[in-house]
């Protein structure tokens, strides 16, 4: 018999609109919270959309894969240094408090335009935190590409 605990993967799906309190804390949906207490998530300022930056939140396994993918790039690839520097300097480890909230670092919240409210958007293996009006722009752009994107599915 094995004593190994079977870990059910966490899937980050759906969207949630939550208030951000005066200490920049935001509630993480219960089904998105790590099972083990003390697990830190990695929050990265993610500049990859025309609507503006958002905060991408990665669980430990996803962050480990990202680091491994970056390290696998050849040292001659200038993107390797850029990604290491940018992600290293524009990310933070965040832990959930006993109430299931994470605190958004001030500089990251400001860069992502997050103030009183935020949209938590599931990406299946991670999630993003958006300024609600920026997310409306993203959602409209995604709607245009949805039919083509779904052609890849059976």
Condensed to tens digits (0 to 9), the pLDDT of residues 34-82 reads 888 788 999 999 987 788 899 999 999 999 999 999 999 999 999 999 9
Q: What pLDDT is stored for residue 149 in this prediction?
A: 85
- Where residue 34 sits, what CATH number does that domain have? 3.40.1550.20
Q: Which domain holds residue 19?
A: 15-150
DSSP strands (E only) in 28-100: 40-46, 54-58, 91-95
Residue 5, pLDDT > 80, answer no
Q: What pLDDT is stored for residue 3 in this prediction?
A: 58
Q: Does 32 fall in a domain?
A: yes
**Residue 138: its H or E element:** helix 132-150
Q: What pLDDT is stored for residue 33 in this prediction?
A: 92
Q: What pLDDT is stored for residue 2 in this prediction?
A: 55
Q: What percent of the chain clears pLDDT 90, i.e. is strictly above it?
A: 78
Q: What domain count does the chain have?
A: 1
Model confidence at 145, pLDDT cuts 50, 70, 90, reads confident
Phi, psi of 118 (to 5 degrees): -150, 155
Q: What pLDDT is stored for residue 152 in this prediction?
A: 83
Q: What pLDDT is stored for residue 122 in this prediction?
A: 97
The DSSP secondary-structure symbol of 111 reads H
Residue 1, pLDDT > 60, answer no
Q: Does 35 fall in a domain?
A: yes
Q: Does 55 fall in a domain?
A: yes
Query: What's the mean pLDDT when you consider all of the chain?
Result: 92
Neighbours of 67 (CB within 10 A): 16
């Amino acid at each position: 018999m094995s004593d190994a605990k079977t870990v059910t993967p966490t899937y980050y799906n759906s969207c949630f609109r939550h208030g951000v309190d005066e200490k920049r804390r935001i509630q993480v949906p219960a089904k998105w919270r790590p099972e083990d207490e003390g697990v830190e998530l990695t929050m990265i300022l993610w500049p990859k959309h025309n609507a503006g930056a958002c905060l991408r939140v990665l669980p430990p396994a996803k962050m480990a894969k990202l680091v491994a993918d970056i390290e696998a790039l050849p040292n001659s690839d200038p993107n390797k240094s850029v990604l290491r520097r940018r992600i290293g300097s524009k990310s933070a480890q965040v832990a959930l408090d006993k109430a299931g909230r994470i605190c958004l670092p001030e500089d990251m919240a400001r860069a992502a335009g997050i103030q009183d409210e935020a949209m938590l958007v599931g990406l299946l293996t991670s999630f993003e935190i958006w300024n609600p009006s920026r997310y409306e722009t993203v959602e409209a752009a995604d709607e245009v590409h949805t039919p083509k994107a779904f052609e890849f599915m059976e």
